[in-house]
Amino acid sequence: MLDGKQLTISEAHKLLKNKQISSVELTKACLDRIEKLEPLVKAVVTITADLAIEQAKKADDMIASGDCKPLTGVPAMIKDVICTKGVKTTCSSKMLENFVPPYNATVVEKLNAEGMVMVGKANMDEFAMGSSTENSAFFTTHNPWDLSRVPGGSSGGSAAAVAAGEAVYALGSDTGGSIRQPAGFCSVTGLKPTYGRVSRYGLVAFASSLDQIGPLTHDVTDAALVLNAISGFDNNDSTSVDIPVPDYTKCLTGDIKGMRIGVPKEYFVEGMQKEVEDAVKASVTKFEELGAIVDWNVSLPSTPYALAVYYIIAPSEASANLARYDGVKYGFSYQNTDNMWEAMEKTREIGFGPEVKRRIMLGTYALSAGYYDAYYLQAQKVRTLIRREFDSAFEKYDALVTPTAPTVPFKIGEKAQDPVQMYLSDVFTIPINIAGVPAITIPAGFADGLPIGLQVIGKPFAEEKILKVAHAYQQATEWHKKKPKL
């Protein structure tokens, strides 16, 4: 953010490298913007102004010595579910309200090595459970395009911060759409890498077989630059996959002639907003104009079961992961009793919000002795079917294209009392996490001034292909250049 203009990472890097601005100047501009806009947007849980200036000074020293990497000195926002040494990591929960990690997540270490400047920790749905950022224990984040509407979730703070120009880019996490759905709602670019491509070490666990960290940026080029920095094998993460990381910027040629793109019919459902469907179909036509070979009749028949599968597997894993918050080792602890069991019960009663409790109960039920076979085991079998359908589709197609969400951003409070309606807003993003494949969301238009997102899905570890397709679309359209007027 400089002189009222929002910069991409590429633009900021060029200015920094040519010494037209300093990282300190750029960082101060972002911090000023945060101070000015936070009363409206409420995207940030913890503003790290002193640390940011200190990191910016170090970045300026790096640049002066000739060491100017693509992310050096560029201000970033980190979702508050990713551990940052010496800086509070709350997961937007009362349970971890005062938790300060003694170590950095691997992705934070990797960004620090690039010369990152962290301006703050972004608000989110508590423990990453939600689609609207209304489940934060602290406050609801507002969509910069319309402050009466949600920014999506759970990485709503990360998406809103980038859209509002409070940071040049952000990191989020995606368990069932938590990067892509808010990116779509806020008209930014959001990438969920393949499961195992980016280390989860230091990501506070929600559902360990689904969670993945990824970037939220202004455009596809920036997403490729961040993915370059955070990808790679990590011994600290047993699910990290040891395969080479390419330079993702090399695939951004703008040329997709002859690429095969499939449009799965199961992603155009009853109850979907007509303007969203029209915008997505217009985008697919644009791919045809760019020379891609489009098949409009792809079928992924198990897709309708993905939502049910997700709401068995994710809460089951959450109930196991969140058992560690017992008030003994760290986090909130209820002290006003001599009874150990009451202390643990009260800790969890007070520390967790209603959505987290709901999912723990769902998961505990699904894993209980009488129901494990009927629910959890069945869900895992259907998960295998969903994965196989994607595998078989990618034998024929380079990428699949779908809507990101069935509607534009909804009003704050509109779905708060109806969990099922809330869960349905992730219906197009959830299958991707179940299958563990990569997907990127890009801006694809507006309905009544509200953003519409387009999702491009690829086969495992083929991030280059979805980046290539998404980049070609952005080269031919202007949607990603439009910014909210705050």
283 located within any domain: no
Catalytic residue among 69, 79, 192, 346: 79
Q: How is residue 245 annotated by DSSP?
A: P
383 located within any domain: no
**How are beta strands 117-122 and 75-79 bridged, if at all?**
parallel
pTM for this predicted structure: 0.96
The per-residue pLDDT for 424 is 86
**Nearest C-alpha neighbor of 162 from the set 408, 446, 421, 480:** 480
Q: Does the annotation mark 173 as catalytic?
A: no
The per-residue pLDDT for 252 is 96
Q: Which residue ranges in the chain fall short of pLDDT 50?
A: none
The per-residue pLDDT for 3 is 60
The per-residue pLDDT for 165 is 96
18 located within any domain: yes
Phi-psi region of 68 (alpha: psi -120 to 50; beta: other; left: phi over 0): beta
State pLDDT tens for residues 375-423. 999 999 999 999 999 999 999 999 999 999 999 999 999 998 888 888 8
CA 287 to CA 270: how far, in whole Å? 25
Q: What is the domain-level CATH number for residue 72?
A: 3.90.1300.10
The per-residue pLDDT for 180 is 98
The per-residue pLDDT for 208 is 94
158 located within any domain: yes
Count the helix, strand and coil residues of the chain and give each as a percent rounded to the nearest 5. 45, 15, 40
236 located within any domain: yes
**Range of the structural domain that residue 91 is part of:** 9-257+444-451+474-481
465 located within any domain: no
Beta-carbon contacts of residue 175 (< 8 Å; ≥ 6 apart)? 128, 154, 206, 207, 210, 211, 212, 314, 433
Catalytic residue among 23, 131, 154, 316: 154
The upper half-sphere exposure of residue 316, i.e. CA atoms within 13 Å in the direction of its Cβ, equals 22
Number of domains in the chain: 1
Q: Does the annotation mark 136 as catalytic?
A: no
Catalytic residue among 92, 155, 173, 178: 178
The per-residue pLDDT for 38 is 97
Q: Does the annotation mark 23 as catalytic?
A: no
The per-residue pLDDT for 186 is 98
The per-residue pLDDT for 4 is 60
341 located within any domain: no
CA 364 to CA 368: how far, in whole Å? 6
335 located within any domain: no
Q: What are phi and psi of 136, to 5 degrees?
A: -65, 140
